[in-house]
């Protein structure tokens, strides 16, 4: 199984996410990560999906997604594309551990966005491996709560997947 990152440009219609997610489920494709948001074109949303499949079924995935009426375009991003996860992590701290946690935050270029006497909330953005490494460092202190976005991805260079898409 190999991971593939798909960028899907869709019309912003009700039920669209259900259509895409349902398609993955019923065709037996596994979603590893999913992120949805507006694009730079009004009325169009952009979905980033990380899917784990063998080579040939991936073609089936993209063809089936393309068949959805509200899907404008499906692009498989190359592995070199910019890929970022965004996480919020609530870590247990006390007077003794706080400085060590803050040191880790600095090392990973993360940010503290909330502090109370016995915990901090940290925000980190990075690729999946960087985020995973950061979590490993924080685990000994006690992670109370964690939330993360799906992977956001964009191809490098000046090209855009919305080129040739009428506004």
Partner 1 sequence: MSKEVLTGAQAIIRSLELLGVDTIFGLPGGAILPTYDPLMDSKKIRHILVRHEQGAGHAAEGYASASGRLGVCLATSGPGATNLVTAIADAHMDSVPLLAITGQVGSKLIGTDAFQEADIVGITMPITKHSFLVTDANDIPEVISAAVLIATTGRPGPVLVDITKDAQNQKFDFVWPPKVELPGYKPVTKPHGKQVQAAAEMISKSSKPIFYVGGGIVRAGAAKELLELAELVGAPVVTTLMARGAFPDSHKQNLGMPGMHGTVPAVIGLQRSDLLITLGARFDDRVTGDAKSFAPDAKVVHVDIDPAEIGKIRHADVPIVGDLKEVIPELTAELKKIYGTKTHDLTDWWSAMNHLVEHYPLGHDAPEDGKLSPQAVIKRIGELSGPEAIFAAGVGQHQMWSAQFIKYERPNAWLNSGGAGTMGYSVPAAMGAKVAQPDRLVWSIDGDGCFQMTNQELVTCAINNIPIKVAIINNSSLGMVRQWQTLFYDKRYSNTDLHTGTDSLMIPDFVKLADAYGCLGIRVEKEEEIDAAIKLAIETNDRPVVIDFIVSRDAMVWPMVAAGVSNDEVKYARDAAPVWEGEE
Three-state DSSP state, 8 = strand
Stretch that binds partner 1, among 54-62, 94-102, 127-135, 151-159 (CB under 8 A): 54-62
Residue 55 interacts with partner 1 (CB under 8 A): yes or no: no
Residue 38 interacts with partner 1 (CB under 8 A): yes or no: no
Following CA atoms 20, 22, 28, 29 in sequence, which dihedral angle do they give, to the nearest 10 degrees?
A: 30
Residue 49 interacts with partner 1 (CB under 8 A): yes or no: no
- From 64, 100, 125, 162, residue interacting with partner 1 (rule: CB under 8 A): 64
CB of 34 to partner 1, least distance (A): 17
Which residue do the tokens 């490993």 mark?
A: 136
CB of 65 to partner 1, least distance (A): 9
First to last CA, the chain: 37
- Residue 86 has a CB neighbour count (10 Å cut-off) of 16
Residue 162 interacts with partner 1 (CB under 8 A): yes or no: no
Give the sheet arrangement for strand 30-38, strand by strand: 30-38, 44-53, 2-11, 71-77
Binding site for partner 1 (CB under 8 A): 10-11, 14-15, 18-19, 22-23, 26, 56, 59-60, 63-64, 66-72, 165-166
């Amino acid at each position: 199984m190999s991971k593939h990152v798909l960028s899907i440009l869709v019309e912003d219609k009700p039920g669209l996410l259900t259509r895409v997610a349902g398609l993955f489920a019923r065709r037996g494709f596994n979603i590893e990560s999913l992120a949805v948001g507006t694009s730079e074109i009004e009325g169009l949303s952009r979905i980033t999906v990380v899917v784990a499949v063998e080579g040939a079924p991936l073609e089936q995935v993209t063809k089936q997604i393309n068949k959805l009426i509200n899907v404008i375009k499906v692009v498989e991003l190359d592995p070199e594309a910019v890929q970022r996860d965004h996480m919020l992590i609530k870590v247990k701290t006390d007077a003794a551990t706080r400085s060590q946690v803050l040191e880790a935050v600095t090392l990973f270029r993360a940010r503290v966005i909330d502090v109370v006497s016995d915990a901090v909330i940290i925000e980190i953005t990075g690729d999946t491996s960087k985020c995973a490494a950061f979590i490993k460092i924080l685990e000994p202190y006690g992670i109370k709560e964690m939330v993360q976005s799906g992977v956001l991805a964009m191809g490098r260079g000046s090209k855009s997947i919305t080129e040739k898409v009428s506004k």
